[in-house]
Each structure stands twice: as C-alpha cells, then as structure tokens.
Amino acid sequence: MTDFTQLQTALAENFHERISELHVIRGNELHFQISRGDALPLAKLLQADFKAELRLMVANDRRAAQGFYEIHYLFVNDHENWYAHATRHLSQADPLLDSMATFYYPASRFEREIHDQFGIEAMDHPDTRPLVSHAFWPADYFPLRKDSVPPENLSDNGRPFEFLAVGGEGVYEIPVGPVHAGVIEPGHFRFSVVGETVIDLKIRLYFTHKGTEKLFEGRDPADGVELAERISGDSTTGHAMAYCQALESLAGCEIPDRAKYLRVILLEMERLYNHIADFGAICNDTGFAAAQSHCFRIRERLLRLNKRLTGSRLLRGGIVPGGVGCDFPPGLNLAAELEDVLADFNEIVEISLENSMLTDRLDGAGYLTNKTAIDHGVLGYVARASGIDLDVRRDHPFAAYPRLQFKVAASQSGDVRARAQIRVDEVRESVGMIKQALAQLPAGNLTAPLGKLPAWQPAFGMVEGWRGAILHWVMLDESGKLYRVKVKDPSFANWPALSFALLKNIVPDFPLVNKSFNQSYSGNDL
C-alpha cells in the first residue's frame, strides 16, 4: 500500500513549494492546495505513479468572504483505498482553469459543467459548447454563483445546438427525442447512419435539469436527505446513503453496528428490484415480452417488501444522517422471501438464456471496448462488463460490507449479453449478502448523533449504487447550513460511452443497447 509519506515526497519533488497545506484527514485522505498550472501535471503524476484517477471536480464560490473561487479535484485510488483532494483558488477577476480535457475525457465534461454553472472558463478546452445550459438560458446567467439572480423571463435565442454533422455519400441523420413515445424522461439522440448501420451517435441531455445542487444551498444538513432521495428515484437509497456518509465523514460520526447492517439490506434491496426489472426489459427489447412480464411481477413483490421495510416502495426514509430511519419490521422472514424470489428469477433467466432467438440479439451487440470504457471513466455494471474490476463495496468498504463475503461480478465481453449477465450475477450476490446481514444483525441503536459539523471543510461520501459509484461532496458554512453540495451520479460518466457502444450496430438495436446501459436522465441532469 502507498504510504502517504511517499506521495507527499513525490509531490514535494515534482511541485516544490507550489503545493501547500498538506494534511491527512480521516486516515486515508490527503488534502492540499495547488497553484495555477499544476492540475494537469498532478493528474498525470497520480495516474502514472500512484494509479489514482480523477473522479470528481467541484467548483465553489467563496468570493463573498474570501474573494476567490475554489476548484476541488478528487483523485481516487481504487486499489489501495485512499484519496488525494487538491484545492486551487481562482481569482474572481481572472477565474481561469487549466483544461485537462485532452488528458482525461470526464474532466472535459466537468469543465463544461463548471463553465455553465459558474462562468469559469477552461483554457484551451477543445469543446466550448454548453453542456448544462440550453438555448433559453441567458448568456450571462451562472446559477451557482452566490450572487446570481434568476432571470424574470426566459426565451429561446433561436440558435440550435451545434451538433457536428457527419457527411459523406449515403449518410443521413435520424433525430430521436427529446420527447419520446414511451413514458421515459427526455433526451435527444441524433443518429448518423448508412443504410441501417450506425456510424455516429450524438446525445444531448439536461432537459430534466432541476437545479438540485442550488436547492441544497442554505438547508439544514438533515433536510438535505429528502432532496438527495429524489435526485434519481430508482436510486433513492444510494444517493441518500452517499449524502449521509459525506455528513458523517465531516462530523467524524461512527454509525451504530445495527444501522450498518440495515444499510446493507436497504442498498441491496434497491439493487435487486432494479437489476431484475432491467433483465426483463433487455429481454423485452429482443421481442421476448414474457420475460419482462415475469420480471416485473417479481419487481412488484420486491417493491412491496420495500414498503414493509421502510414504509416506502422506493425505500424513502430508510437512510438518515447517523444511521437508519426505521428498524427491521417484526414478523418479516426476508431471507425466505428472497430465496423464493431468487428461485423464481433463476427460472426466468434459464428459460431466457436458453432461447437462441434471444441470445443471438444479445451476443456481440453494443460492444464497449475495455479501452473506451477506461478512457470514459465508466462505472458500475457497464464498467465491469467491459473488464474494469471496480466496486466501491469492496474497494472502499462502507456500512457492514467489510464483514460480508461476496464476489464482484465481472466480464471481458463488453456486449449486451455481458451487461445482462452482470445483473444476473449481482442479483444472486445481493440475496447472499442480505442473508448474511440478517444472520449477523446485532442488537443496538439505529442512529448516532452527528455532533458538530465543522464549517468550510470539504467531505464526501461514495457508495456503490446499483448503477455504479455515487459521489456526494459537501461543505457547510459557519451557521451550520449547507453551503455547497456536489453530486455525481454514475450516469454522468456512463452516458457518453453509449455513443461508442452503438457504433457498427443497426438502428433497431438501439433500444436494446440503450436498455443494457439504462442510465438515468434525472441523475445525470440533476
């Protein structure tokens, strides 16, 4: 394992006095300040010598009290469970970033998001188009600045988004959305095709942008949980847990053992109902509607179990700062219920995957190479299906996961079949983990008091949601209110990779490939 002394020595040797205020927090977080021009060399050093990747960029407006903006960079080492958190101050008169877009693609999207929300420009960025803002946003409106005033009137400026056209003989475009025929959220897809073969796909999102990070500002920390639960409805527990873990980390709060096991149960129940529904939906997009009908029947059973656990079919109210919001209900034999669910699901899987008409559609479709997946920083089952062995439950253990035995499902195939199989394997592991958690469930309290939450200190929580790693970053002001909350849903990393997975597929395979990714519009758009 890397000793932070080694890392500090490397930083001193490479950056000399340009890096300052190095200090270790919570045992595995190295925090420090960097100077202008050091972000890219730092990222290269951490990646090449310490296997740490940039996982989050956060902009923060501290002009009122400090006279500067802040940019925070969170680098994560998934092999040794440590973090490097770098902060850079930007002058309010000259708030410029050094772009890392050409080195690390996810940084490109962070930088575009920061520009739209704060008006901070990334120098030499190769793509200056807006990411979050649409044509009706005023050019000088940056909503996450503390002094921003919402415009009274919004009107379309009449300028279309600048999609890069694909030319050539026989190439034509198929626009889909943003309003779709099905009951799904809005997103615009533009296909460039030759015949039926897709040679390019461009995706335009943020039609469901709700200003969530702005809505966190000024709230009591406890009041932020309900907002976190609603970032993406099918990831209620994942987002609430990541948010609460950020607060608990900031406070130095250790939650009770009973709450740790109950958190595992709730998070795995969320994984179960989503993965089972997804497997059925993937089968349905091959024309095998019977599988979806049975999977949705099982999903309904799981949602009813969720309601018995928390009073909510979507598990709202289950996670609270310092622990859990409700105890395990008396009279519920959850282990037996889940054994029955798993046997039912296994039968559906066996029937489906023995059907060659179905598997012929899955095999080789939507192939995402390992290199493309790495370049895009993809997460969750999309990453694991393309040979990236990452899982926060194992790599950065939280709740009671360190005390449980489980395998991380993985594949090298990178196609729809692999992403479907990862879901199947994870369903089986989730049932096993819940049974272990129930068998080991100790008596004790459900919550622990947070205690004092220090002002102006960053903290974060990371959870393996059912789609992948969810990150919440928080900072409070001196009155104890939320000053800045930054959220990263795994969909933010995974949506762009869909364009590459669809290349060389035919147009009718888009629903199938898209469903095998099944990313959240709302989670991405915030």
Give the pLDDT score at 136: 80
Q: Average the pLDDT over 258-270 and give the result.
A: 98
Q: How far is residue 298's CA from residue 419's CA, in Å, rounded to a whole number? A: 20
Residue 42 has pLDDT above 60, yes or no: yes
Location of structure tokens 């080492």: 77
User: Does residue 182 register a pLDDT over 80?
Assistant: no
**pTM for the complete prediction?**
0.95
Residue 72 token pair = 């925070």
Give the mean pLDDT of 300-310.
98
**Which of the residue ranges 27-41, 96-110, 182-196, 274-288 would you say has the lowest mean pLDDT?**
182-196
Domains of the chain and CATH, by start: 4-123 (3.30.460.80), 171-204 (no CATH), 221-490 (1.10.645.10)
Provide long-range contacts, Cβ within 8 A and 24+ apart, for 370-376: 370/412, 370/414, 372/497, 372/500, 373/414, 373/497, 375/105, 376/105, 376/106, 376/493, 376/494, 376/496, 376/497, 376/500
For the chain, what percent of residues have pLDDT higher than 70? Answer: 99
The answer to whether the beta carbons of residues 294 and 280 sit under 8 Å apart is yes
Average pLDDT over residues 416-437: 98
Give the Cα separation of 359 and 424 in Å (integer).
Answer: 15
Give bridge partners of residue 459 from the DSSP assignment: 474
pLDDT tens digit sequence for 50-66:
999 999 999 999 999 99
Angle subtended at Cα 406 by Cα 402 and Cα 411, rounded to the nearest 5 degrees: 125
SS3 282: helix
| Least confident stretch, 142-156, 280-294, 305-319, 443-457 | 142-156
Residues 432-451 have a mean pLDDT of 97
1 pLDDT more than 70? no
> Do 206 and 134 contact (CB within 8 A), yes or no?
yes
Residue type, 54: L
- CA–CA separation, 430 vs 305, rounded Å? 15
Q: What percent of the chain has a predicted confidence (pLDDT) above 90?
A: 85
At residue 140 the predicted structure's pLDDT band, cuts being 50, 70 and 90, is: confident
pLDDT at 151: 82
**Mean pLDDT for all residues in the chain:** 94
What's the pLDDT score for residue 2? 67
Return the half-sphere exposure (C-beta side, CA atoms, 13 A cut-off) of residue 467: 28
Residue 339 is predicted with a pLDDT of 97
pLDDT, tens digit (0-9, with 9 covering 90-100), for 473-491:
999 999 999 999 999 999 9
